[in-house]
Structure 1
């Protein structure tokens, strides 16, 4: 019987066999769908590749073949819908700015535009988007691992810049630092409201909340965010007609 060292020499631990052609095309998306859901529920640190593959019912070696590592799998999961949501929030902002007919935009309109695509996805009941938006709420737990969230921020950067410029136009007397704080405040409130929705969904024991409840939480988000901005910079430009 060969020794352990002899077996390792014949077949290095890093060697990965190529999967059969019949499973090659469907497997990566299946793994990503499951990873997206488990990372969203339990976070990066609370989820292992073994958890993901056992849930998939797929051999552990296929995760290494398709993605290489847990970090790479998380990066693919958090980045794969980023371009879509980025484009959607840009289009939402463009529509809001067009409605202002060249006048100074109102903060409330910008906040509404920012959260509109996400709440539309939540109301649609699409499980993939529901999991992905929940995954994005985990970003705040990964501040010390910017490498993990870079695939999202790299693609979302243009949208974030557009909203920062819009807030600056809506708040002409505010410093750049204040504008950035306003943007971070709105994004934080947005994540808190999403977390509350997911918590309510878990407490209710249902797979999805009613559209009316989602809409009510969207309204609360807008009121809270706009009220907070008013407190920070004054109410003169926060609401229409002020």
Structure 2
């Protein structure tokens, strides 16, 4: 007759797994904040370990070398954003059927989830958006991480734009996306520059105002260049 494990022994692995998950999340959250503030090169594993209150060896044990950790931090919320964007696009397509979805609705499906992220009470999303601005404007990390984690969703939206703008050339579509990406990055960065330029009339942390204007602005640009 096989021996049965005691309840205490059965419970130990679960407690250990919970502790490991909590430590892993603590490392990722601390890394996200530090990378957003200081960039990849400005963060040491010792600084990160102190911030996360873990041993340095645990960082490598859970996530591998620093570059792999950076990728994991960047990928974690990219997946969430991509799912939100895809759901918004598919819903807009269903609502428009049997007609093609409008350019405005395509751009809104792409941009509005970013507004929701920036408005979140979760400090992690604010850190991630700052990190996204850093990576998107980096000649080193942009081609690697943006391509790896965002190209597939961009391709899906470009395909929707091809349907909405049947006379558009691919070069024009991708240039227009390039310009939109620049506007997104400046909004992610939340630098406060527009506050000073406008004398306080505009605020860089007024994300609803930013996206309410960015969506029709970008849509008009696509239609002008690609129409």
Give the superposed CA RMSD: 3.0
CA offsets per residue over residues 30-84 of structure 1, 9 Å max, x none? 1110001111122212222222222223322322222232111101101122222
Q: Which has the higher helix share?
A: 2
State yes or no: 1:64 paired with 2:60.
Answer: yes
User: Gaps (5+ residues) in structure 1?
Assistant: 1-19, 204-209, 235-242
Counterparts of residues 28-39 of structure 1 (less than 5 Å): 28-39=24-35
Question: Whole-Å Cα distance in 2 between the matches of residues 22 and 112 of structure 1?
Answer: 38
Structure 1 pair 154/140, CA: closer, same or farther in 2 (3 Å)? closer
Aligned pair count reads 206
With over 3 angstroms needed to count, the CA separation of the structure-2 counterparts of 1:192 and 1:125, relative to structure 1, is: same
Residue 75 of structure 1 is matched in structure 2 by 71
Cα gap change, 1:102 to 1:187, in 2 (>3 Å): farther
Deviations 1:147-189 (A, max 9, x none): 851xx64443432221010111121111112122222222222
CA distance in 1, matches of 2:18, 2:224: 59
Q: Which among 96, 100, 105 is matched to residue 96 of structure 2?
A: 100
The answer to whether the 8 A contact 2:30-2:52 is kept is yes
Q: Does the CA contact (< 8 Å) of 1:71 and 1:148 recur in 2?
A: no
1:99 CA displacement: 2.4
Preserved contact between residue 85 and residue 117 of structure 1 (Cα < 8 Å)? yes
Kept after mapping to 1: 8 A contact 2:187/2:210: yes
Measured at CA, do residues 233 and 153 of structure 1 come closer, stay the same or move farther in structure 2, by a change above 3 Å? closer
